Amino acid sequence: MKITLPTLSGLLMLFVGSTDAWSQCSGSSAAFTLQYDTAFNGNGNAIVNLSLPKFDPSLGTLLSVDLSSSVGLQYSYILENPTASSKLFKTRIVRTDEITSTALDPYSVYAANQTPQYTVTLAAGQSLPVGPGFMRYSLANTVNDARLVNFMGAGTVDLAYETGTSASVTATLPWQLNFSSVIDTTHLRLTYNYCSTTLLASNLNVFTATAFKGKVVLNWKQANPETGRVYTVQFSNDGRQYIDLARIQEEPAGDYQYTWLNTQNSGKVFFRIAETNPDHATYYSATRSLQLNGNESNIKLYPTICTNSTLHAELPYNADWQVVFFAADGRKFTEKLPVNMTAAKLTISPEMTNGLYTVELSNTKTSEKLVTRILLRR
């Protein structure tokens, strides 16, 4: 029997904040989880085809993928002794579950469970109905190797969940066992464990990507510079397959900028930084994604890593411009820019302490705005 579920049908998506189960992000910060849940019923022997969403690399760095299911089984059967003498029967109900997918190749997720032994003596020619009986069990599997790439990007991960229900009987032949009823319910969960875009798997403490007309500017900051470290700027069109753009040697100041000239004009693009330490261990930053449409704003605010008290603003025209800084702790700082200038220096308020800020530079009379982030390190 084959049961096919429509793509994403019956899915419940859960976003869960940081969990103590994982602590692999920078600063010993706990990872985040994104979960997709679905449930389906069966008759004991079936193949259910499922399509679950892939992980969006723009959310951050994927650490691992958990596949788990919780199963409830109800069964009834008739046991018959067709011989002319009494006979001792020992029976168990055996259940198998297997999850297969090209994303899991060359492995699958497999588990076998069985009930405790049921012992009974049947008289000659006697038939005995047994049940309803119940089984409850779960299975789990974690992917944290090179197969992670199969779960990333746009589209879905296609899985086949196959169940089998049978009986194990210990008795001298002949005998008969026929199931009169088998009903099962399976709850399947796909969990993505990841470092968010502000919790990098590498030890970078900031990494930003800002789109302008004809280019994308990347900035990143190393908290602890180390001689011999190398940064590789990587680019992707799909968030799965990356190419190297440039290799940059570690600098004592730990502040870096790279400009990518936009040759494709539109579409979604992805960037990340591969950090290779002197011991040859490589770590990856969170992924930054941008949707390019060829009409990126000419509004600019820089540098994104500010080591003094001055920011530079470049504006496309004279207007009533306003800058708002939002601190991570909820504080808000607002500054007005000179009305008759398309380029201005902005002095950062001494009340703004060092840290990461979300910045909104906008025309107060129109909807045009730039939203970016800066790291203040004075």
What DSSP letter does each residue of 172-204 carry, written as one string?
SSP-EEEEEEEEEEEEEEEEEEEEETTS-SSSE
* Whether residue 233 sits in one domain with residue 164: no
Of 288, 313, 295, nearest to 218 by C-alpha is: 288
Q: pLDDT tens digits, residue range 332-349?
A: 888 877 655 566 778 888
Tell me how far apart the alpha carbons of residues 336 and 326 are, in angstroms, rounded to a whole number.
Answer: 15
Q: How far apart are CA 289 and CA 209, in angstroms?
A: 8
Domain co-membership, 283 together with 333: no
166 and 55 housed in the same domain: yes
In a shared domain, residues 302 and 275: no
Q: How far apart are CA 273 and CA 216, in angstroms?
A: 14
For residues 189 and 219, membership in a common domain is answered with: no
User: What's the whole-number average pLDDT of the chain?
Assistant: 81
Mean pLDDT of 258-269: 78
Structure tokens at 86: 């009494």
Q: Note the pTM of the prediction, 2 decimals.
A: 0.52
Work out the pLDDT band at 190, boundaries 50, 70, 90: very high
pLDDT at 178 over 90: yes
Q: 55 and 189 share a domain?
A: yes
| CATH code assigned at 318 | 2.60.40.10
On whether both 88 and 160 belong to a single domain, the answer is: yes
Chosen domain end from 196, 224, 256: 196
pLDDT at position 168, please?
93
Number of structural domains the chain divides into: 3
Per-residue pLDDT for 23 more than 90? no
Q: Which of 196, 219, 248 is the last residue of a domain?
A: 196
Strand ranges (DSSP E) for 230-368? 230-236, 243-249, 255-261, 266-276, 282-284, 288-293, 300-302, 305-306, 310-314, 321-327, 332-336, 343-347, 355-363
Condensed to tens digits (0 to 9), the pLDDT of residues 44-82 reads 999 999 999 999 877 777 888 999 999 999 999 999 999
Q: Which residue has the tokens 């109905």?
A: 129
Amino acid 29: pLDDT: 56
Is the same domain home to 341 and 238? no
Whether residue 276 contacts residue 233, with contact meaning beta carbons closer than 8 Å, is answered with: no
The reply to whether 258 and 313 lie within a common domain is: no
Residue 42 belongs to domain spanning = 2-196
| The residue count for the chain | 378
Q: pLDDT, tens digit, for every residue of 213-238?
A: 778 888 888 878 888 999 999 998 87
Give the model's pLDDT for residue 41. 92
**Beta strands at 32-42 and 12-16: parallel, antiparallel or unpaired:** antiparallel
Q: Do 185 and 246 share a domain, yes or no?
A: no
Q: Are the CB atoms for 195 and 26 separated by under 8 Å?
A: yes
